[in-house]
Structure 1
């Protein structure tokens, strides 16, 4: 079958569910992932023919997209900070906003500094692994309550050739760790139940609720626990970084103020939303 005919089928099947531009993106991502074809292939070879044995994965992708399965789960791969991460329904798909959080940390840490870092709620390991990859002298630790998520993260650390120490514990149960850290970072669950109406079906139906949602009456439960934990586990001058709910920036900042963190900065993401928070411990 001609590749341009397959592109038409993508639009016939998916335009009712997704914006036209996104369907275009799905098509090009799919042929790049499975057929290793560049995006400009149709401009260069408008009559490019797809082999019969290659058609199946393309049509299978369409069927899964019709079921609202995120394309990263279909490919079992997500890109983050220039690295490839295996993802499945046990972990969240890494977001561009989280890349901004990692970039913020990297901008404030000397690449040759021998520091210890703890990532709380690591999921796929994207934060911890990206920091370990970019800070070769850092000792990086990553904590998560989910055994399945930690399996994914361990595989990602191995695939990206970095050393990360993984810890299976719940931050809500005040884990007793054996050392202090220069940096603690977390992107914990922060979406309130009331915010589900703003979310797409492909997120609600596929990504792990455990890593996404908090109750409406205790939306900062993880931030409260982590902020309190970090008081005892950050070295003097140590820094705590959060990704936060854009609607609760002031409330989350107030938690750090309550625990006497210094030099607190509430930072906006590329979309102009309150998305990141930093505070320092000074004893």
Structure 2
């Protein structure tokens, strides 16, 4: 099949589900991934003949997109903070707002201009996007990460190898963890924070295909991960150590209040690129 014929089929198949701009974006991603054609190449080579194996993949991808399977899962990869990552059904697809959390930590370390080594613990490994990006961008960082899912850790380990960084991954249920292995300078976490009542706001591609364990908490206790991690941070953060969270946009004030009750005295609530409360930095006033 010629590329122009496949493109016509592709747009027709998806036209009732997605806007044209999104379909074009999917098309560009798929042809670059499978045919190694940039957008300009596709425009200049409409008669490009797609080989059978590649065509089978593209047709399957079209069917998957009709079922609203995320494009990142279809091609098995994505980009985060300028780095490549493998993704699959066992890990969340990294979001732009999480990049902002990572950037906050990196910029804080640059501002301190410290040549000393720093120990960082990420809680909730997932794809490894947070710990790997931090290890890649903070000189002298010793980074470790915890996740309850062995399958997520396997994916994160592949991503650490892909990005040539050394991360210590540990399998543990943080809600049932009483002790951390050592004192650290930074704890960062993007834990499950979406309440059941918020499911109606979410798209099908998230609800049906991304791992529920990494997304949702019960309505009655939506801050349980923050409560637990803050308790651990009190005992395992070094002097002047910092705690960073990605948070539920509707629970910013509640999360701040929780941290105050734990004894954190320096708390900063920050909005993301969409203008909603999305991240918190907290520390103890050690002066």
TM-score normalised to the size of structure 1? 0.96
- Mark the runs of 5 or more structure 1 residues left unpaired by the alignment: none
Provide the C-alpha distance between the structure 1 equivalents of 2:211 and 2:178, rounded to a whole number of angstroms. Answer: 23
Which residue of 1 is the match for residue 63 of structure 2?
63
SS at match of 1:247: coil
Provide the C-alpha distance between the structure 1 equivalents of 2:50 and 2:177, rounded to a whole number of angstroms. Answer: 56
Question: What displacement does 1:151 show?
Answer: 1.0
SS at match of 1:78: strand
Which residue of 2 is the match for residue 36 of structure 1?
36
Provide the C-alpha distance between the structure 2 equivalents of 1:25 and 1:113, rounded to a whole number of angstroms. Answer: 43
Which residue of 2 is the match for residue 164 of structure 1?
167
SS at match of 2:267: strand
Question: What displacement does 1:177 show?
Answer: 2.1
Provide the C-alpha distance between the structure 1 equivalents of 2:54 and 2:262, rounded to a whole number of angstroms. Answer: 58
Which residue of 2 is the match for residue 24 of structure 1?
24
Provide the C-alpha distance between the structure 2 equivalents of 1:42 and 1:21, rounded to a whole number of angstroms. Answer: 16
Whether the 8 Å CA contact 1:169–1:175 is kept in 2: the answer is no
1:81 aligns with 2:84: no
Question: What displacement does 1:255 show?
Answer: 1.1
Which residue of 2 is the match for residue 195 of structure 1?
198
Which residue of 1 is the match for residue 237 of structure 2?
234
SS at match of 2:191: coil
Whether the 8 Å CA contact 1:83–1:160 is kept in 2: the answer is yes
Provide the C-alpha distance between the structure 1 equivalents of 2:234 and 2:53, rounded to a whole number of angstroms. Answer: 58
SS at match of 1:140: strand
Q: How many residues align structurally? A: 283
Provide the C-alpha distance between the structure 1 equivalents of 2:183 and 2:53, rounded to a whole number of angstroms. Answer: 55
1:32-65, CA deviations, whole angstroms, 9 ceiling, x for partnerless residues?
1111110122333343332344311111110111
Worse-matched range after superposition: 105-114 or 9-18? 105-114
1:277 aligns with 2:280: yes
RMSD, aligned CA: 1.3
Whether the 8 Å CA contact 2:187–2:233 is kept in 1: the answer is yes
Whether the 8 Å CA contact 2:189–2:244 is kept in 1: the answer is yes
1:131 aligns with 2:127: no
Whether the 8 Å CA contact 2:120–2:185 is kept in 1: the answer is yes
Question: What displacement does 1:207 show?
Answer: 0.6
Question: What displacement does 1:176 show?
Answer: 1.6
Whether the 8 Å CA contact 2:266–2:285 is kept in 1: the answer is no
1:173 aligns with 2:209: no
- Mark the runs of 5 or more structure 2 residues left unpaired by the alignment: none
Whether the 8 Å CA contact 2:119–2:184 is kept in 1: the answer is yes
1:167-196, CA deviations, whole angstroms, 9 ceiling, x for partnerless residues?
111111134223111110000000000000
Provide the C-alpha distance between the structure 1 equivalents of 2:175 and 2:256, rounded to a whole number of angstroms. Answer: 19
Question: What displacement does 1:66 show?
Answer: 1.4
Whether the 8 Å CA contact 1:235–1:281 is kept in 2: the answer is no
Whether the 8 Å CA contact 1:234–1:281 is kept in 2: the answer is no
Worse-matched range after superposition: 184-193 or 105-114? 105-114
Which residue of 1 is the match for residue 256 of structure 2?
253
Whether the 8 Å CA contact 1:120–1:188 is kept in 2: the answer is yes
Question: What displacement does 1:137 show?
Answer: 0.8
1:95 aligns with 2:95: yes
Change beyond 3 A, Cα 1:276–1:4: same
Which residue of 1 is the match for residue 54 of structure 2?
54
